[in-house]
Amino acid sequence: MNLVKKVLTFGLLGLPLAAGAVSSLDDLIDLTGDILNKIVPLIIAIAVIILLIAIIGYIRAGEDEEKRKNYHNLIIYAIIGLFVMVSVWGLVNILEGTFNLDNDLPDIDVLPQI
């Protein structure tokens, strides 16, 4: 089953090429970057919503120590997760700007035209 997941994951990366959405490696990299730039803020927004739900649950738990402990742990994990996501995203942007990685790649006709 693990092999199927790996093959499926890498097979899906070739779908834009097979569909004619991209014609070169540069277009494929741009498309992947655009998708990731749209997914990362969505994941961060989901983590913020989870944090807010955990805070509200902690407040509403009242004197129930079991619920308070569970919500407290969820708050800690949400804060750590947000910190890691924002830090990694910021580090990638800093490295991209430092090494001028945001420049266009030269046209390389490695991928076959379909």
> What is the distance between the alpha carbons of residues 91 and 7, in angstroms, rounded to a whole number?
30
| Separation CA 112–CA 114 (nearest Å) | 6
pLDDT value at residue 105: 56
Q: Which two tokens stand for residue 111?
A: 């991928």
pLDDT of residue 14: 60
Percent of the chain with pLDDT over 70: 68
pTM for this predicted structure: 0.64
Cα–Cα distance between 48 and 82 in angstroms, integer?
A: 7
Mean pLDDT of the chain: 81
